[in-house]
Structures are given as structure tokens and as C-alpha cells.
Structure 1
Amino acid sequence: MIIKAAIPLIGEYGAAVTTSKVARAAGIGEATIFRVFADKEELLDACVAEALRPDHVMRELGDIPLDQPLADRLTEAFEALQAHMARIGAVVGSLHTSGYRRREGAADGEARGVGREESMARIRAALAELLEPDGDRLRLPAEQVAALFLGMLFTRPRQGDTPELTPRELVDVFLHGASA
């Protein structure tokens, strides 16, 4: 409850968020925060770890119907993953911009049970499951296609003055190449 109340405030105030603001948002007394967390930095680290957790995106990926056409499944997956990255960016970016640096030993998500590598492996496996119904039509194993799909998502270029491609357009290029 404390972390859920703190995350939007961190997006707004960065590391300048006060524990009294977090307590008000959570509907608790400020002292309660310090019964759960040793200090504000531990709370901020826990919020980063929570933002990095893949649980929300895993639920969204798991809810995508496997009987849809592959392009539809991948478009929904792309949108879910984009939202996941935006949630991470809101917390991590705001803290970084406000000058906050995580403490030595505060590993990404590991304090809350999921490290970065495990998180990416779980997401890649969920994507591979979405690809499986069309596995016989893929040039590569579903796991490799899932890794390539994630690579495209994480490295897609910004086009400057030209409009950004929609998720559907990117999926179309991914599935069919750039040739007309």
C-alpha cells in the first residue's frame, strides 16, 4: 500500500517526494512508513524494485487470446510492453533526473524477488507462448523470435520530424520485413 501510493508521487516529485506526502496518499501516519522501511532511501529503492517487477505485464501478456491472428497478438504484446517500459521510465527517470542514486547493493528488483535477468526471461517466455500457435510458420524457434521481438521493442529508433510508427506498423514490418 505504501509503495503503490509512493510510485505516482515519485513520478511527479522524484526524490524530492516527502514521506509525509507518501503517508497522506497512503492514508497512514508517517511513522508507519518508518516501521516498514528503515529510511526514505529504502522506500525509494523498494519503489524502483516494484516498478521493475514484470507481474503486471505478465498478466497482460497472459490475457492475450491465443486464437487471435499472430499480428493482433503481437500488437497487443507490443502495447503491453510499451506500457511496462513507460511505468519503469516514469519512476526511474524521475528519480534519476532529481539526482537520486540507488544505494550500493540495491539490485534491480531483487529485493522484491525478481532480478532483471529473470524478469526478461519470464517476459521472453510469455512472448514465445504467444508465438507458439504459429510456430510451424516461423523461420526460427519461438524463443528466438521472442528475443528478436524484444530487441526491436528496446532499440526502435525515434524518427525526429516524421510521425512515429504505430505498434501495428512495427509488428507488420517485424513479421513481413521492410520490402513491399
Structure 2
Amino acid sequence: MTEKRRRAPGMSPDERRAMIIATALPLVAEYGTAVTTSQIARAAGIGEATVFRVFTDKDELIDACMAEAMRPDHAVKEIASIPADQPLADRLAEAADALAAHLERIAAMTGALHSTGHRRREQRERPDGSGRRHSMRLIRDAVADLIDPDDDALRLPADQVADVFLGLLFTRPRTEELATPQLVEVFLHGALKDRAA
């Protein structure tokens, strides 16, 4: 007697949507708009028709991938997981690396889409408040929480220090001579040598 195979439990539309986006992200980052829904379906182990049960068309899927790449959740979670008992310089260096990875993820996606002719839609603040300003607020709050244990030693409140630190990170020169620990050192102690030493 042969045993009847059980089917895996079905996914909700939201779970299936998230799975398709997660599968499509690296493909869109590699191929841009040249990626096909057939490639995405094969990589996800589903039929192409399943993609179109969740997304109206490929453009909607690409927009969903871009929105996912821009979400700050991963960076915020990484920053929140940095141990507070480390020295402030080490915490900030880890935060800078997490934010650099976040920005590289966004750059890879936008670069691939731009190079394959995708027209970027205007980024407006969404009705649910989940636009660019909201994302920056989440990142700023995570960095401020990371800095807060050293609040007594700071010249400014932790949230203002976080703003200055993020401004420095997002405008930092892309030069290999300036490593993240050096950037953090200059941020915390200034560019002048300690004359007393």
C-alpha cells in the first residue's frame, strides 16, 4: 500500500507575496527590468501564474521589490542588536557598517533598474507614514538609542548626536583611505590631535 503524500500547507496571500518578493530581490538587483516573471517563478519554485495571482504585472512586482529594498527594518534590527556594553566607538562603527550595507542594497537595486530603463516614480510620503522621512526617523531613533547609554558624556542630546552622525555617514567621502573606525574616531574626538598628549 502506497502512502499518500501530504501537500505542504498553503500560504496566505501576504506570505506568498513576501516569499515572491524575497526571491525576486536578488534577481531584480542583478537583471533590473530585464528579469522575467518566469525566472522569478522558477527561482521561487512556483508556477508563473502564481506570481500573477499576487501581482497585477511585472511593474507592480518590481515596485514592491524596490519598496522592500528601501525599508529600514533590517538596518534598524541590526543596530538594535549591537551590545550596549561595548565602547561607544565600537557601537558606532558597527552601526555605520549596518547602514552602509543598507545603502548598498538600495544602490544595487536602483542602479540595476536605472540601467535597464526603469523610470523612477516620485517618492512621496505614503498615507500610512511609511515614506522616506519615516524611514530616516526609524534609523535616527535606533542610532540615538545606541548612543543613549553614553548620554552623560555627550555635549548634545543623543538624538542630536545621532542626526550629526547620520549626516556625516550619508555624506562621507567614498575613499578607501578613510576606514569606518577612523571616521568614528574623527566624529567622536574631532580632527585635531590632542595637544595635551
Q: TM-score, normalised by structure 2?
A: 0.84
User: Which gives a bigger RCO, structure 1 or 2 (Cα 8 Å, sep 6+)?
Assistant: 1
Alignment identity in percent? 63
After superposition, give the CA deviation of every residue in 1:53-88 in whole Å (9 maximum; x if it has no partner). Answer: 111111101100111100010000000000011111
Residue matched to 1:101:
119
Q: Quick check: 1:128–1:143 contact (8 Å CA) kept in 2?
A: yes
Q: Quick check: 1:10–1:17 contact (8 Å CA) kept in 2?
A: yes
Sort the Cα spacing of 1:80 and 1:59 in 2 relative to 1 into closer, same or farther, 3 A. Answer: same
| 2:83 pairs with 1:65 | yes
The size of the alignment, in residue pairs, is 175
Q: Give the 5 Å matches for 1:1-180.
A: 1-103=19-121, 107=123, 110=126, 114-159=130-175, 163-180=176-193
Counterpart-to-counterpart distance in 1, 2:106 and 2:128 = 15
Which has a greater percent of helix? 1
Counterpart-to-counterpart distance in 2, 1:73 and 1:31 = 46
Q: Quick check: 1:45–1:102 contact (8 Å CA) kept in 2?
A: no
Unaligned regions of 5+ residues in structure 1, if any?
none
Sort the Cα spacing of 1:20 and 1:110 in 2 relative to 1 into closer, same or farther, 3 A. Answer: farther
Counterpart-to-counterpart distance in 1, 2:30 and 2:124 = 21
After superposition, give the CA deviation of every residue in 1:94-120 in whole Å (9 maximum; x if it has no partner). Answer: 10121101456xx46949972111110
Structure 1 segments, 4+ long, off by >6 Å, are none
Q: Quick check: 1:46–1:111 contact (8 Å CA) kept in 2?
A: no
Unaligned regions of 5+ residues in structure 2, if any?
1-18
Q: Which has the larger radius of gyration?
A: 2
Counterpart-to-counterpart distance in 2, 1:158 and 1:168 = 14
Q: Quick check: 2:140–2:163 contact (8 Å CA) kept in 1?
A: yes
Sort the Cα spacing of 1:94 and 1:15 in 2 relative to 1 into closer, same or farther, 3 A. Answer: same
Per the alignment, in what secondary structure is the counterpart of residue 83 of structure 1? helix
Per the alignment, in what secondary structure is the counterpart of residue 61 of structure 2? helix
Per the alignment, in what secondary structure is the counterpart of residue 165 of structure 1? coil
